[in-house]
Amino acid sequence: MATTDGNLHRRTVLAAGLIALPGLAPAIAKSGTGAPPRTVNLKETSDMKMIFGTKQVGDVEVFYREVGPADAPVLLLLHGFPTAGHMFRDLMPALAGRYRVIAPDLPGFGNTVAPGRASFDYSFDTMAEVIEGFVDAMGLHRYALYIFDYGAPTGLRLAMRHPERVSAIITQNGNAYVEGLSAEWESWQTYWREPSAQHREACRAALTDDAIRFQYQHGAPAGLVSPDGYTLDIGYMHRPERYEIQLDLILSYRTNVALYPDFQAYFRKHQPPLLAVWGRNDPFFIPAGAEAFRRDLPQAEIHLIDAGHFALETSHAEIAERMTDFLGRQSL
């Protein structure tokens, strides 16, 4: 049957658009060629779906999101403060074609369910123990680590305990050197030196709605930060006990700085391939922290990008491209 030019144009545009979606194109034959229809790869389609689940680790029910082929090299993404695994919502699909990408929520964050403060120690040592248990529960024997903010001291504890498991490290504003700490840390450092009620209260300013918005927006290109991420994090912060849990973790952060020499010794001894993709406008972890990795890892690849602390909010495509290039040259 003949078709009008308008109908033909619409069909051509529709077909081109569907074919452009990898793994999702329907069976479309080229008009008039007699070519057989394209068969949909159902496994490929299934691998591109984000799935959500939980793993029980002691008293903690760890929530996680995952995408990518089950038999692909594993990327373990560890988020920071005050967010959760949702910070990787744009990055994960961009990597899913080549990797199995897994992002758990840390205890005290997101949708992970942990006991109250009366019966659970909210510290970085405990967070690392829980994530180690999560890794074991997921059956992960080798993985590349993506570490950001709080995810850095958590992930580096895992790396020191099981260096044979870590195939590579991607640090996005995930610090391991005192040079990376800006002047914004002064009130926290005062609390570390003298953990009084007065100094604890002073740290509460970092937990306000305005402070969370500041973390997302400062140093980011104007108009590119969606309100979705910080609005969700603000909602998380208003749940019962969350302010006190976060103040406990602020005090515990001093243990991370104390471990910097140990993290650095791990780098020197095991020489993990490392990529630093760092938002250069981060007000908390400054570029000197990224450059410092080369002191212990001479082959480290350092890229400072035009972004703030939450660089994925505005630069996930660039970061995914850097990661794909870097990881493609490693033995994962």
| Residues forming the active site | 309
Phi, psi of 271 (to 5 degrees): 50, 55
Q: How many CA within 13 A on the CB side of residue 326?
A: 27
Neighbours of 208 (CB within 10 A): 13
Do you find a cis peptide bond into 82, omega within 30 degrees of 0?
yes
- d(CA 229, CA 68) in angstroms, rounded, equals 23
> 3-state class of 129 per DSSP?
helix
On the 0-12 / 13-18 / 19+ scale of CB atoms within 10 A, 280 is middle
Tokens 């990055």 sit on residue: 91
Strand order through the sheet with 74-78? 51-57, 60-67, 100-104, 74-78, 143-147, 166-171, 274-279, 301-305
- d(CA 24, CA 318) in angstroms, rounded, equals 24
Beta carbons of 35 and 29 less than 8 angstroms apart: yes
Beta carbons of 195 and 251 less than 8 angstroms apart: yes
Beta carbons of 314 and 280 less than 8 angstroms apart: no
Q: How many CA within 13 A on the CB side of residue 228?
A: 10
Beta strands in 68-226 (DSSP E): 74-78, 100-104, 143-147, 166-171
